[in-house]
Amino acid sequence: MDYDRYDRVRAVRWTGEALDLLDQRLLPHRQEHVLCRSSQAVAAAIHDLVVRGAPAIGIAAAWGLVLAAQQVEAGSGAQAAERLASAIDHLNAARPTAVNLAWALRRMRARLIGAGTDWRAQLQIEASAIEAEDLAANRHMGQLGAALIAPGSGVLTHCNTGSLATAGFGTALGVIRAGVAEGRVQRVFAGETRPWLQGARLTVWELLQDGIPATLIADAAAAHLMATGQVQWVIVGADRITANGDVANKIGTYQLAIAARHHGLKFMVVAPASTIDMHTATGAAIEIEERSADELLGYGGVRTVAEGVKAWNPVFDVTPAGLIDAIVTERGVVERPDAQRMRALFPD
């Protein structure tokens, strides 16, 4: 397929001396960039959702460590690793649920430990590799996932899993891009994804840039949409997939999986190997990020809820493996995931 035609947006860009992030808090009305010149600035950008999406925050953190390295003197990679330990910890703490953050930093640290006096250059090479591998994984997953979809299908997606959330092309949105290009996906619906509106502000905007028609629905309209027969697959990304195939993803994913099963629809999760956490047994052990109640109590800085009302704002949930028909990774597809099938594809 002509990838570039369907994939024009980029959220994370290394300029050679700073990290340029498309500010996702301001989309779709303003396209402004935040230039990060320190690892502290990158950690703050991850925490504040300037950059978001599991793979994208891993990539940003890798470049954050490259920036931290500019402030440190060391004669070897091992010595640099000691001196960069607090920067690594700070980046790692920026958000808790997406495992890609810890994965990328572990990979960067391993490269550092094995490096000699050229450790700074080695860190840059590793960050570039993490980014390039993510794009390649997404394109491969696009093909694998699209192959599961019958021609003429309708799909519903949640949150934003596209180029904005990754190095490019996207995970679930990559499958949808490939499916559209191949004529398998004929109707695309996106849930608005309250409260931060990743679907309404980001996904439908991103698809518009690439000329892919999509229809926005209120999150609350999902079960009704399923009942109308217009969608055959729900396709989502993941922030962490545990050893038994449970999937942590944006809040609301779990109820979509329940509704999909009720209506006899298929449920696909698309995520690279960097999102797989074989060291955590089940989804019950995943830390679920809770964000400020203000995200629920108002919009755009304007309070919409009566003063004195409290709100609870968990921003991820866990979909049990039993509700999932396919987990698509760049290593292959795990159908009806369970611990044994996950181990077969991810033995290490």
Q: Would you name the residues annotated as active-site residues?
A: 239
Separation in Å, CA 29 to CA 162, 165, 200, 202: 18, 18, 12, 10
Least separation, in Å, of the C-beta of 290 and ligand MRU? 12
Q: Nearest distance from residue 315's CB to ligand MRU, in Å?
A: 5
The least distance separating ligand MRU from the CB of residue 245, rounded to whole angstroms, comes to 16
Task: Using CB under 6 A, pick the residue from 11, 36, 45, 52 that binds ligand MRU.
Answer: 52
| Candidates 53-61, 80-88, 113-121, 213-221; binding stretch for ligand MRU (CB under 6 A) | 53-61
198 binds ligand MRU (CB under 6 A): yes
Assess 203 for contact with ligand MRU (CB under 6 A).
no
- How far apart CA 38 and CA 17 sit, in angstroms, is 10
Q: Is 239 in the site for ligand MRU (CB under 6 A)?
A: yes
Q: Which is nearer to ligand MRU, 77 or 237 (CB)?
A: 237
Distance from C-alpha of 26 to C-alpha of 44, rounded to nearest angstrom: 16
> For ligand MRU, how many residues bind (rule: CB under 6 A)?
17
Length of the chain: 348
CB 50 within 8 A of CB 12: no
For the CB of residue 320, give the shortest distance to ligand MRU in the complex, in Å. 17
- For ligand MRU, the closer of residues 59 and 69 by Cβ is 59
| Chain position carrying tokens 């698809």 | 207
Q: Which is nearer to ligand MRU, 46 or 115 (CB)?
A: 46
Asked if 165 is part of the footprint of ligand MRU (rule: CB under 6 A), the reply reads: yes
Contacts of 344 (CB under 8 A, 6+ apart): 334
Q: Does 168 bind ligand MRU (CB under 6 A)?
A: no
- Determine if 98 is a binding residue for ligand MRU (CB under 6 A): yes
Inter-residue contact 342 to 245 (CB < 8 Å): yes
For residues 165 and 237, give the distance between their C-alpha atoms in angstroms, rounded to a whole number.
Answer: 10
Rounded Cα distance, 57 and 54, in Å:
6
Q: Which residues pair with 21 in a beta bridge?
A: 12, 34
Cβ distance 166 to 243 under 8 Å?
no
Using CB under 6 A, list all residues that contact ligand MRU: 52-55, 98, 159, 161, 165-166, 171, 198, 237-239, 249-250, 315
